[in-house]
Amino acid sequence: MKYTIYEDPLTRRCAHLALPGSFLDGDQLPAVVIDRWFESHDAAIAALAELLDRDEGECAAAAEVPVPVQAEAAPPPPIEPPPRPVWSHH
């Protein structure tokens, strides 16, 4: 998971913003609900270790959950060739 620190231009408070894995510099930031604001950029940086530990713990827990194995789907039936037109000679 990628994260950035977002600073609100009006309140100057900061928050951790989770970014999609495909996010590139210059992309528009995703619309999200921020559940924790920090009073300063320094406070947000200090809390990064906690965020990364929590994220790592969630990844480890997800890795322990067995993924159900799906049986392979039966192959589709063969496609029959369309019937040939019958021409009559009048």
pLDDT at 79 over 80: no
Average of per-residue pLDDT values in the chain: 77
Residues 5 and 12: their CA atoms lie apart, in Å, by: 12
Ranked by mean pLDDT, the top range of 10-14, 33-37, 70-74 is 10-14
Helix (H, G, I), strand (E, B) or coil at 61: helix
Identity of the highest mean pLDDT range in 16-20, 42-46, 61-65: 42-46
CA distance 18 to 55: 11
Q: Where are the domains of the chain?
A: 1-20+34-57
Express each pLDDT in 51-60 by its tens digit: 878 776 665 4
**30: which residues sit within 8 A by CB, 6+ positions away?**
17, 19, 20, 23
Estimate to the nearest angstrom the gap between the alpha carbon of 28 and the chain centroid: 15
What percent of the chain has a predicted confidence (pLDDT) above 70? 68
pTM of the model: 0.53
Query: Counting beta carbons within 10 angstroms of the beta carbon of residue 35, is it exposed (0 to 12), middle (13 to 18) or buried (19 or more)?
Result: exposed
Mean pLDDT computed over 57-74: 56
Q: What is the pLDDT of residue 12?
A: 92
